[in-house]
Chains A and B, each alone.
Chain A
Amino acid sequence: MDEHMDVYEKNKEAYYKAYPQEAALWEGAKYEKSNLLIRSISASGGAESLLVEKDDRKLVLDGVFGSKERIQEQIESWGAIPSKMPLFVVGISNLEHIRAYLKAAREDCLILVYEPSIEIFDYVMRHIYIADLILDSPILFVVDQLNDKGLEDKIAAILNIDTASSLKTIVSPNYDVLFPEKTEAAVRILKKKYTNLIITWNTMRRFTDVAGLNSIFNIRHLLHGYNISQLKGMLRNEVPAIIISAGPSLNKNIEDLKDAKGKACLIAVDTAIKPLLNRGIVPDFFVIVDGKKPTELMQHPRISEVPLVTCSVVARGIMDLHQGKKFFYYSDDSLEGEIFKRARKESGKSENLYEIDLPTGGSVANTAFSLALHMEASRIILVGQDLALTNGRTHADGTFKAKMEKLSEEQMEGMIEVEGIYGKPVLTRTDFHMYLQWFEDQIAKKELKNVYDATQGGAKIHGTTVMTLRKAIKKFCNKPIDIVAKINALPEMMDWGAKKEFVDLYDHLPEKMSEVFEKALEGEKLYLKLEKICKQKELKEDAYRKIVKKIEKINDYMNTNKYALFVQDNLMDLNYIMRTAIYQQEADERDDRISLAQQGQVMNFYIRREAEKWIEITKQVVERRPMEVNREDIQGSLDQLLYDLECEEVAQ
């Protein structure tokens, strides 16, 4: 058999095994070809390099004299390669460099290879043996026209906060010249994903000091709360939703919203609520996501009339101020997860007790947009969604101040220019830009054709249709809907059994925090013992294994127990240092073990201290904000039956 045919068959078989759909597309040649001519040329040391001819220009994809040296220099420039290092490579070339990276990296590294030319990929598959890399290596292959739509998700898959700092990006030789747009687009996606990861992490850190406290204070509101799952499909693709944000352009058309009341679902973001209520416009919902939002922004005599869409970690002042109906989305808080789990177990109607997330790009308007999708709005109309400065202002009048001031020159520094809604460039902040990109990504990904931008100012949101609010209301808001009646018909998410279980959990919070404290103390002691064992001249294997087994139990507890996770979630800064440090390994095995034992002591020491803090806080909260279930909580015949049974038990 021809040597190349053998290579081709083996590669094909491997590709079919690992990427069946892509392989079928490739073999069926269901892709567009460009005018590339590819051939192999001999390089030093008997290796082969690839030469590509494009537009009468011949370019090599690798050196011919010093390929190995160049790759080696690159690897050496990275220094010590940490565990789980993510590596993003644009261009498979002849894969020699990828083999070298793989050899130099640790076994658990994550390599994503993006090939922007299907023809180069095809050539490689037919001439260079790569079946082993396809099947038996930690490499993900993304190829132009075969699976490049999944590039963004694949990039997200190799990035996480523990290892992001060690990310390496390689653009293979001449790929930037041959495929400038695709290379640039791929690097841009990587940059975006990386930035989003860091921003999300920093946001979590920013709110860490309040998230735990908010959660402990707010969970009591779940007792009489509703789940956003109860709003699923409420608009049945028949009624539009208007997302009202607080951008400066809201001043222009806020009055028009009066005409939409009762004919659309009005969803306001937190800062827009006061300007609306001040004008007598009562939205159907308002949404909050911020853990530090000042309570004053919501202080209005009618605030409790508006159902609140919220989660357990938002600003506790606002949660207490608002006495109306609260619809909860899932905050990813460990404690909340435990509440839902236990409540489900004891509930007779657990369908409303599942954690439902509302995807967001970081802004409350993003969350409101996800809510509109969740409710199956026929159209989504955006108002006050400037996502840019309008007349030098960030928000509408009546939000943070009665009359918003222009930003100072100093505040304007670092602004970026984006396309305005009417085509002219406008200035925006980097966080606004991120929210804007999230909207555009969602619209493109979900192929939404029903999003209208009625902001009448600010940045252009690609994928939306620009229309004045007045026209949008006239055109789309024709069908009357009584959302208040629909909401009033909903039962609270917890029934009698769920509520009783939740109250029990709440009352025992201090004991659970004490348990975390005890476990952390035990862990600290075990790691100290481990350090001593590791420092001995000769490692006593038996003693070492015994102690490691005990430590594993503690670590399992710390990684799975929801109360332990809650405590650790509130140690974000330390968490980051420890998590990244775990992947920085010592050269010597003995030093590595000692270092691990020391890190274990530090981690458990901080968990113990943090747990101690939460024992006190939960004691106070449970005492000062008690929860109870009584007759008023009976919502149906099953609740009544359970209540009667309990009364009988007490009487006996």
Chain B
Amino acid sequence: MNREELFLDCRVIILQVLEQLDQKRTAEGFSLLVRQIHPVQDTILELADGGFLLPDDIQQLSEYLLQALENKDAVLLYDVLKYALLDVLNQLLE
């Protein structure tokens, strides 16, 4: 899978999770993300390797994503996915 395909896959997963959270189906949103976590993790690694984000930003993003998952914090998850990860992917896929 090339980088673009990975980003596209990741984008679709994020949109699906956000859709669940928007519908207040929090548990379903978390469960979906846990099942599809690998492409998301790979994307974050790819963003770091490709230098698309600064190391500090990558670290912050990863930490908050982990914190959101560990604490089942739907607010934080939504925030990380929509305003950090999806924003970057949208810019890169433009």
Measured CB to CB, the residues of A under 8 A from B are 44, 57-60, 62-67, 69-70, 173-174, 177
The distance in angstroms between the C-alpha atoms of A59 and B71, with both chains bound, is: 7
- A66 and B84 contact, Cβ closer than 8 Å, known pairs A57-B71, A58-B67, A58-B71: yes
Closest 10 CB pairs of A and B: A66-B83, A63-B79, A65-B83, A173-B75, A65-B84, A60-B76, A58-B71, A174-B75, A57-B71, A59-B73
| A65 adjacent to B75 (CB under 8 Å) | no
Q: Mind listing 26 A-B residue pairs with CB under 8 Å?
A: A44-B83, A57-B72, A57-B73, A59-B73, A60-B73, A60-B76, A62-B75, A63-B75, A63-B76, A63-B78, A64-B60, A64-B64, A64-B79, A64-B80, A65-B61, A65-B79, A65-B80, A65-B83, A65-B87, A66-B79, A69-B83, A70-B79, A173-B75, A174-B73, A174-B74, A177-B74
Closest chain B residue to A43, Cβ basis: B79
Name which of B67, B76, B87 has the most chain A CB atoms within 10 A of its CB: B76
Greatest chain A CB density within 10 A among B61, B70, B83, B84 is at B83
B79 and A67 contacting across the interface, CB-CB below 8 Å: yes
A611–B85 Cα gap in the complex (Å)?
66
User: Which of B70, B71, B83, B84 is A70 in contact with, Cβ under 8 Å?
Assistant: B83
> Chain B residues in contact with chain A, CB under 8 A?
60-61, 64, 67, 70-76, 78-80, 82-84, 87
B17 to chain A, nearest CB (A): 15
Dominant secondary structure of chain A at its interface with chain B: mixed
Do B72 and A60 have beta carbons less than 8 Å apart?
Answer: no
> Chain A contacts of B60 at CB under 8 A?
64
A177 to B60, CA, bound (A): 24
Q: For residue B83, which residue of chain A has the nearest CB?
A: A66
Interface centre among A63, A65, A67, A177 (most CB of B within 10 A): A65
Bound-complex Cα distance A62 to B83 (A)? 13
A376–B60 alpha-carbon span in the complex (Å): 67
CB distance from B27 to the nearest CB of A (A): 12
Bound: A177/B72 CA distance, A: 10
CB distance from B21 to the nearest CB of A (A): 12
Name A174's closest neighbour in chain B (CB-CB). Answer: B75
- CB nearest to B67 among chain A residues: A58
The interface centre, meaning the residue of B60, B79, B82, B87 with most chain A CB atoms within 10 A of its CB, is B79
Separation of A565 and B94 alpha carbons in the complex (Å): 63
User: In angstroms, how far is the closest chain A Cβ from the Cβ of B18?
Assistant: 12
Q: What separation, in Å, do the CA atoms of A63 and B60 have in the docked complex?
A: 13
Q: How far is the CA of A174 from the CA of B79 in the complex (A)?
A: 12
The answer to whether B72 touches A66 (Cβ under 8 A) is no
* Nearest residue, chain A, Cβ from B84: A65
Q: Please name all residues of chain B whose beta carbon is closer than 8 Å to the beta carbon of A58 when the two chains form the complex.
A: 67, 70-71, 73
Beta-carbon nearest neighbor of B68 in chain A: A60
CA gap between A58 and B70 in the complex, in Å: 9
How distant is A44 from chain B, measured CB to nearest CB, in Å? 8
Q: Give Cα A605–Cα B27 distance, bound, in whole angstroms.
A: 59
* Residues from chain A with Cβ under 8 Å of B72 in the complex: 57
Whole-angstrom distance between the alpha carbons of A63 and B75 in the complex? 7
Complex: how many Å from CA A60 to CA B87? 20
Contact partners of A64 in chain B: CB under 8 A: 60, 64, 76, 79-80
- List A contacts of B74 (CB < 8 A): 174, 177
A174–B77 alpha-carbon span in the complex (Å) = 12
- What residue of chain B has the Cβ atom nearest to residue A62's Cβ? B75
Residue of B nearest to A173 (CB): B75
Q: Which residues of B contact A173 (CB under 8 A)?
A: 75
User: In the complex, which residue of chain A has the Cβ closest to the Cβ of B73?
Assistant: A59
Query: Which chain B residues border A44 with CB–CB below 8 Å?
Result: 83
Chain A residue, CB-CB nearest to B82: A66
Q: B76 — which chain A residues lie within 8 A by C-beta?
A: 59-60, 63-64
Contact between A60 and B75, CB atoms less than 8 A apart: yes
A64 to B76, CA, bound (A): 7
How distant is the Cα of A414 from the Cα of B74 in the complex, in angstroms? 35
Residues of A within 8 Å of B61, CB to CB, are 65
Look across to chain B and name the residue whose beta carbon is closest to the beta carbon of A175. Answer: B75
- Compute how far the CA of A62 lies from the CA of B73 in the bound complex, rounded to whole angstroms: 11
The interface residues of chain A lying within 8 Å CB-to-CB of B87 are: 65-66
With both chains docked as a complex, state the minimum distance between the C-beta of A30 and any C-beta of chain B, in angstroms: 32
Identify the closest chain A residue to B79 (Cβ).
A63
- Residues of B contacting A63 in the complex (Cβ-Cβ under 8 angstroms): 75-76, 78-79, 83
What CA separation (Å) do A425 and B79 show in the bound complex? Answer: 44
Q: Determine the distance from Cα of A63 to Cα of B73 in the docked complex, in whole angstroms.
A: 11
Complex Cα spacing A484 to B78, Å:
72
How many Å lie between the Cα of A62 and that of B80 in the bound state?
11
Q: Which residues of B contact A70 (CB under 8 A)?
A: 79, 83
A222 to B87, CA, bound (A): 73
Residue of A nearest to B64 (CB): A64
> How many whole Å from A54's CB to the nearest CB in chain B?
10
Docked Cα-Cα span, A192 to B70, in Å, equals 37
Q: Which residues of A contact B82 (CB under 8 A)?
A: 66
| Further contacts, 20 of them, CB under 8 A, given A58-B71, A59-B71, A66-B83 | A57-B71, A58-B67, A59-B75, A59-B76, A60-B73, A60-B75, A60-B76, A60-B79, A63-B76, A63-B78, A63-B79, A64-B60, A64-B76, A64-B80, A65-B64, A65-B79, A65-B84, A65-B87, A66-B82, A67-B79
Chain A nearest CB from B30 CB (Å) reads 13
User: In the complex, which residue of chain A has the Cβ closest to the Cβ of B70?
Assistant: A58
B residues less than 8 Å from A67 (CB atoms): 79
Alpha-carbon separation in the docked complex, A58 to B66 (Å): 11
- Which of chain A's residues has its CB closest to B26's CB? A177
Q: How far is the CA of A239 from the CA of B76 in the complex (A)?
A: 62
Q: In this complex, which of A57, A58, A64, A67 has the most chain B Cβ atoms within 10 angstroms of its Cβ?
A: A64
Nearest-neighbour CB distance to chain B for A68, whole angstroms, equals 9
Chain B residues, Cβ within 8 Å of A62: 75
Measured in the bound complex, the distance between the Cα atoms of B84 and A69 in whole Å is: 11
* CA gap between A217 and B24 in the complex, in Å: 57
Distance in angstroms between the alpha carbons of A315 and B82 in the assembled complex: 61
Cα A62 to Cα B76 in complex, Å, equals 8
Which residues of the partner chain B approach A66 to less than 8 Å between Cβ atoms? 79, 82-84, 87
Q: CB-CB < 8 A to B79: which residues of A?
A: 60, 63-67, 70
List the A residue with the shortest CB-CB distance to B61: A65
Instruction: Give complex CA distance A69, B78 in Å.
Output: 12
Q: Using Cβ atoms and an 8 Å threshold, which residues of chain A touch B67?
A: 58
**Distance (whole angstroms) from the CB of B43 to the closest CB of chain A:** 16
**Which chain B residues lie closer than 8 Å to A59 at the CB level?**
71, 73, 75-76
- What is the CB-to-nearest-CB distance from B61 to chain A, in angstroms, rounded to a whole number? 8
